[in-house]
Amino acid sequence: MLIQSGAMIPDEDMVKGMEKYYSVSVFTGVPTEGGTPGDAYAKALRLAAAKGGHEKLVVYWGLLETGQEDLATKVVSWIPFIEALFRIRHKG
């Protein structure tokens, strides 16, 4: 079962890429509202996995981010991970 955190369904490219090697079923990465936080989502996820006979879950983030904490102000600044890699590779 393939899940993209925060997305209704996983990216099409990821689904197609995984389908080359695995039988893929998708599940939403957006939890439902109400109840104990995450409780209803966890139950729905377990039920969908059981009904589909899925033994493995692949959960990923569509956009990786890094954080930098300024200890003086305790503020965390988030930047897209891809941008951070670009800056590291293109120094100088």
CA 56 to each of CA 36, 39, 86: distance values in angstroms, whole numbers, following the listed order? 25, 20, 33
Q: Dig out the tokens for 51 from the structure.
A: 């009904």
pTM of the full structure: 0.64
Interval 57-80 mean pLDDT: 64
Residue 55 has pLDDT above 80, yes or no: yes
Per-residue pLDDT band for 40 (boundaries 50, 70, 90) equals: confident
Q: Are 25 and 52 within 8 A, CB to CB? A: yes
Q: Report the distance separating Cα 53 and Cα 67, nearest Å.
A: 37
- Please give the angle made by the CA atoms of 89, 63 and 14, to the nearest 5 degrees: 105
User: What is the 3-state composition of the chain as percent helix, strand, coil, each rounded to the nearest 5?
Assistant: 35, 25, 40
